[in-house]
Amino acid sequence: MNTSISIEQLKCFVAVSKKLNFRKAAKNLNMSQPPVTRHIKNLEYNLKTKLFDRNSRSVKLTKDGMLFLTHATEIISRIEDASKIIVNSKDKLSGSISLGFVPSMASDILPLIASYLNEKLPQIKLIFKEYMSYEQVPALNAGNLDIGLTRLPKDLNSFHYSRVVSEPYFLAVNINNPLSKKHNLSINDLHNIDFIMYDAIVGRYSFELLSSLFLNSGVKPNFVQYVSQPNVFLGLVKASLGVALLASSSKQNSPENVIFKEIKLPDWVRADVYLATKKEPKNKLIPEVYNCIMAALYESQKI
């Protein structure tokens, strides 16, 4: 037997049972009549029985309908009670949560999270703290930060983490650079090219990732500067000091004379960001907020 019965079907059934009139039941449910009729028909199909005797003048419960009404009413009552418990439990959650974020998340992901949490958990104060990835791990360990939007922490055993962003790298070039006119770029095109590299400490994630890329491919760019912030990279590319590999999210801040070129790179060369927190957090609000952030990113199809 197919028992895929929905709460909407049960609500429609109870409403029609009380009014014994499809039009009045639909009005009480703030619905039009056709969906109510459809839900009842689907419910009868799932139960393999007739719940109402109906004609153009009257609607009456069948024997099976009267029996099912008792159970349907009880099920709806339990669901409503459970919903109240969850809502009341969330209402009791109050306090503050500190969320660290890398600068690249500021224009897209951060507003999304802030808006969603303000709607779903308005009683919790969210304190945003701009941290580079290398600063977030010690801050999380010390309890100065509750949750972090960070590059992958090295001490994975101490953290609960989920990947929330995975971006490809693009080659940022000045429009006057010969590479701006070239198609089908690959890592080999960067050999002996003036290249703006990530700082080994502040930009450790991308520094180590790209260093491995160049080492494995045998490509040796000419490193002219070591910086960490996307806007600094773009400023130096604009000044024609060199080219740079930047995450795709950096495109939105690109100056007019800097373009982003697709470049063929191995699949493992991605700019990933993780939502991380200590496995045994002291702040009782962390699990609720962590799950809410994940829900926000999932619903917006970011992950």
Among 31-35, 81-85, 167-171, 248-252, which stretch is predicted with the lowest mean pLDDT? 81-85
**Domain 7-91 of CATH type 1.10.10.10:** yes
| pLDDT-derived band at 159, boundaries 50, 70, 90 | confident
Residue 86 has pLDDT above 80, yes or no: no
Domain 167-271 classification at class level: alpha beta
- Quick one: tokens of 51? 């719940």
The candidate with the shortest Cα–Cα distance to 227, out of 219, 215, 236, 240, is: 236
pLDDT: which is higher, 197 or 111: 197
Question: DSSP states of 224-286 as a string?
Answer: EEEE--HHHHHHHHHTTS-BEEEEGGGGGG--TTEEEE-EE--TT-EEEEEEEEESS-SSTTH
Q: Mean pLDDT throughout 77-91?
A: 66
Domain ranges within the chain, ordered by starting residue: 7-91, 95-164+272-299, 167-271
Cβ count near 93 (within 10 Å): 13
Among 164-173, 183-192, 242-251, 290-299, which stretch is predicted with the lowest mean pLDDT? 290-299
- Cα 294 vs. chain centroid, distance in angstroms? 5
State the CATH architecture for 95-164+272-299: 3-Layer(aba) Sandwich (3.40)
Per-residue pLDDT at 155:
64
Among 19-28, 37-46, 206-215, 277-286, which stretch is predicted with the lowest mean pLDDT? 277-286
Query: How confident is the prediction for the chain on average, in pLDDT?
Result: 88
- Quick one: tokens of 141? 């360990």
| pLDDT-derived band at 229, boundaries 50, 70, 90 | confident
- Is residue 244 within 8 A of residue 271, CB to CB? The reply is no
Matching fold, domains 7-91 and 167-271:
no
Q: How many helices (H) and strands (E) does the chain have?
A: 9, 13
Residue 175 has pLDDT above 90, yes or no: yes
What are the φ/ψ torsions at residue 182 (nearest 5 degrees)? -90, 140
- Is residue 44 within 8 A of residue 34, CB to CB? The reply is no
Per-residue pLDDT at 246:
95
Among 86-100, 106-120, 137-151, 264-278, which stretch is predicted with the lowest mean pLDDT? 86-100
Residue 54 has pLDDT above 70, yes or no: yes
**Residues of 28-52 as b/e, b for ≥16 C-beta within 10 angstroms?**
ebebeeeebbebbebbbeebeeebb
Name residues whose C-beta falls within 8 Å of residue 78's C-beta, 6 or more positions apart in sequence.
Answer: none
pTM score over 0.85: no
Per-residue pLDDT at 1:
40
Per-residue pLDDT at 222:
97
| pLDDT-derived band at 278, boundaries 50, 70, 90 | confident
